[in-house]
Amino acid sequence: MLKVRELYKSYGEVQILKGVNFDVSQGETVIIMGPSGCGKSTTIRCINRLTEPDGGQIIYKGCDLLELNQAELLKARQDIGFVFQNFNLIDRLTVFDNIMLALYKQDTLSLTDKEAVVEDSLNQVQLGDFSNRYPQDLSGGQKQRVAIARALALKPDLMLLDEPTASLDPILVSEVLEVLESITANQNRTLLIVTHELDFAYRVADRILLMDNGKIVEEGPPEQVFENPTSEVGKKYNNLIRDH
Ligand SMILES: Nc1ncnc2c1ncn2[C@@H]1O[C@H](COP(=O)(O)OP(=O)(O)OP(=O)(O)O)[C@@H](O)[C@H]1O
Ligand SMILES: [Mg+2]
């Protein structure tokens, strides 16, 4: 479904992505891990061109996203959900309206259909009773679950999540991970998640991609990557798991 080929990105003189290559198949949950600053966010943001790469290909359902014009890109993004580390909710809108706003381009849906989609998305993240709240009246974990519901509302074939639990209080991390785990259990959904949560990655990933210094240095199922690593980064994760 997604093929990333020879992705390059520099900021000024500094090369951040140095030829990133990987595939994601329909229905897979793929987790990207690696040390801070190695280029994980840059990679995942390049996929729907929140960051413009300098070179490479992003083949999504057979079409190179890097060759799309702005209108075509906006259309493609309707099929690719993105969840940010810092939620990106709109403070002056209720939870309900934050999600409705994501549906404004879905002109095949009636207002009643849209309302039903919002309700359904909120139920999927266990926030069915929170429609009328404002973001300021939610905990960090609840805010992130609203952001996940907003991404789900578009029924995207691919969801990209960049450290969805990184800005949360440790006690709130598990409620978001539980919601994500239930989402990954849906076989039709394809997810690409950047996270530092080892246990979560071990449980839910079909495949782990380890990144180091602008490249994918190792990939495989969690048992292989964490227990029989070949890369330096893989060996560091292996030590962490042993100490655990
Ligand atoms: N807009 C930017 N301008 C200049 N440098 C940037 C920009 N965005 C990222 N970088 C640099 O690119 C490198 C990779 O950043 P990136 O955010 O992709 O890392 P990461 O792997 O997601 O790290 P973390 O785990 O800390 O989130 C870092 O050295 C960062 O400082
Ligand atoms: Mg990052």
In tens, the pLDDT along 101-155 reads: 999 888 899 999 999 999 999 999 999 999 999 999 999 999 999 999 999 999 9
Quick one: how far is CA 213 from the chain centroid? 20
**Average pLDDT, integer, range 42-49:** 97
Residue nearest to atom 30 of ligand 1 (CA): 37
Q: Which ligand 1 atom is the nearest neighbour of the CA of 43?
A: 18
pLDDT band at 71 (very low <50, low <70, confident <90, very high): very high
170-223 pLDDT, tens digit each: 888 999 999 999 998 877 889 999 999 999 999 999 999 999 999 999 999 999
Residue 92 lies in a domain: yes
Best of 18, 31, 32, 40 to mutate for ligand 1, by most ligand atoms within 8 A of CB? Answer: 40
* Mean of per-residue pLDDT scores for the chain: 95
Strands (E), 63-169: 63-64, 80-83, 158-162
Residue 189 lies in a domain: no
Q: How far is the CA of 212 from the centre of ligand 1 (A)?
A: 12
Residue 201 lies in a domain: no
- What is residue 228's predicted lDDT score, i.e. its pLDDT? 95
Nearest to 40 by CA among 230, 186, 217, 235: 217
Number of domains in the chain: 1
- What is residue 105's predicted lDDT score, i.e. its pLDDT? 84
- What is residue 106's predicted lDDT score, i.e. its pLDDT? 86
For residue 139, give its domain range. Answer: 86-155
Pure H helices in 1-48: 40-47
Residue 53 beta carbon below 6 angstroms from any ligand 1 atom: no
Residue nearest to atom 1 of ligand 1 (CA): 11
Residue 239 lies in a domain: no
Residue 69 lies in a domain: no
Residue 38 beta carbon below 6 angstroms from any ligand 1 atom: yes
Residue 144 lies in a domain: yes
Residue nearest to atom 22 of ligand 1 (CA): 41
Residue 106 lies in a domain: yes
Say yes or no to pLDDT of 244 above 90.
no
- What is residue 241's predicted lDDT score, i.e. its pLDDT? 82
- What is residue 10's predicted lDDT score, i.e. its pLDDT? 98
Residue 121 lies in a domain: yes
Count the Cβ atoms, other than its own, within 10 Å of residue 92: 9
